[in-house]
Chain A
């Protein structure tokens, strides 16, 4: 589902290249001098305590904030230019909440993934077919005509991933995707991400569940304002980065670490 789309001349370059990234909502930086490079096909999990700037970092990488200093290149373009954005799929935080009672079906949400391709033109049958195929890939084709608000948290997660797939995204960015999703669905969700990564998708996620990140991803970035660790999960588990980043307020449990 990816790799087949025509891409620019920067195919071999990193999908994300952030250098010296510093940003603060006030004078105090929330993200301080962060370097992060994500190459094609990587599976990266960003963890950190609450208020550590994980989501802010993600927003910076996506160009949603102007950094105070440093630079971000996304897909080889400065992030603030929002170029070639059909290649990026984004699943926002709190998509499982429904304070909005907007009537919209699952199929309609997934079709939005095709909108950047269609521009001001019409949505074609080919677009609909691709959206349908994406629904099949994430295993919720049977829910296509349901209202999105009638779905469970896990099913909604899949809808948003299907939207990214329908858009032929090469990079999937997820902000705390498992918040509000039950444990069983979380496992199934990470299984789905494994499959997508195996198919060549690049995945970057921010996650509060440290255990899941260590267990599932191929690279851990531990953040608390600055980068405390960036490397393979095994090395991370053996390092003291977690204690340093989270402070002493932590307990270790079998099979996972919970703040």
Chain B
């Protein structure tokens, strides 16, 4: 894909692309200077500059979206979309080798993942539930389709699929970094504008509908954003581990945060920690970045679980539960319809 991906993107985006490309270049210069000044060896490499940029942006947008997903018990959607994005990658590679075009597989991945996102919403709207089964079917279909397309193509393909399955720091090109900046801008802008509606829908879907919020529309928006984040994060994390970034930092933050805003902020900070430490470790030990980042994130999660236990133990000491809070759980009967 190297180079060819960019040349395909350039005519599409024109001047804005040049601007972003320039910005990524300056970021690279800046990190290079920092590396030289502080004597940090890994910052000698331009691909590491891109990796840190992409990683830092992923660590903002993955937990941002993940917070809304996890608290609706939709953590599996990220996984399902990642696997359909893999099919999108395969479609891109297939089309390229068939027609000799130079479309970036990440662009086709975005298209396929967004279509899959809307399909998942359609299934859930018509069956009135997000169920494990339909999600599992979408997940396996996507992955199977990807595997078949790639195997048909194997003869003509020089590019290995490992970089898509497991992610790869070294293949984060300047073009891909620009693509990620664009995805980041879209995701953070949309979430900023629709934050209140998304929160309402996440917290209490029925009350949100009563309040006049178009819930199906926001659900579609949410899964579409998830598709964008998943494809963006795939470069480093790989198809198989990308969903972890949507879930693990969010779960960690939920252990210690009281409020929603607080949880959102904490999940981003914890994700940044995991990504920056993970990338650094993977460089030094020549380990796969996605796996290292996830392991660091899980370690952070375990720490937060412990911190949460300490915190709640202290809270119980401070104020014993009131009489009213005791023994009211079991009273009452369930719904009548």
Contact = CB atoms under 8 A, between A and B. Distances in A.
A120 B203 contact: no
Contacts of A178: 332
A147 interface: yes
A82 B207 CA distance: 12
B254 interface: yes
B197 A152 contact: no
Contacts of B253: 103
Contacts of B203: 102, 104, 109, 112
Contact of B258 (A30, A82, A103, A118): A103
Given A94-B334, A147-B259, 7 more contacts: A49-B336, A102-B203, A105-B259, A112-B199, A146-B258, A179-B331, A180-B332
Interface string B212-226: 110000000000000
A123 interface: yes
B222 to A, nearest CB: 15
A184 interface: yes
B317 interface: no
Contacts of B210: 62-64, 85, 88, 90, 173
A92 interface: yes
Given A53-B337, A90-B211, A103-B263, A182 B200 contact: no
B176 interface: no
B294 to A, nearest CB: 22
Interface of A: 25, 30, 48-56, 62-64, 82-86, 88, 90, 92-96, 100-105, 107-109, 112, 115-116, 118, 120, 123, 145-147, 150-155, 167, 173, 176, 178-185, 208
B322 interface: yes
A181 B259 contact: no
Interface string B163-203: 00000000000000000000000000000011011011011
Contacts of B202: 102
| For the complex of A and B, 4 pairs with smallest distance between CB atoms | A85-B212, A179-B332, A182-B328, A152-B325
B259 A55 contact: no
A51 B328 contact: no
A115 B200 contact: yes
Contacts of B207: 90, 92, 112
Interface string B70-88: 0101000000000000000
Interface in B283-320: 315
A208 B333 contact: yes
A92 B39 CA distance: 60
A50 B336 contact: yes
Contacts of A95: 204
B206 interface: yes
Nearest to A208: B333
17 contacts: A51-B336, A64-B210, A88-B211, A92-B206, A102-B202, A102-B203, A103-B262, A103-B263, A112-B196, A112-B199, A115-B199, A116-B212, A116-B213, A120-B194, A152-B321, A176-B335, A182-B324
Contacts of A153: 328-329
A62 B328 CA distance: 29
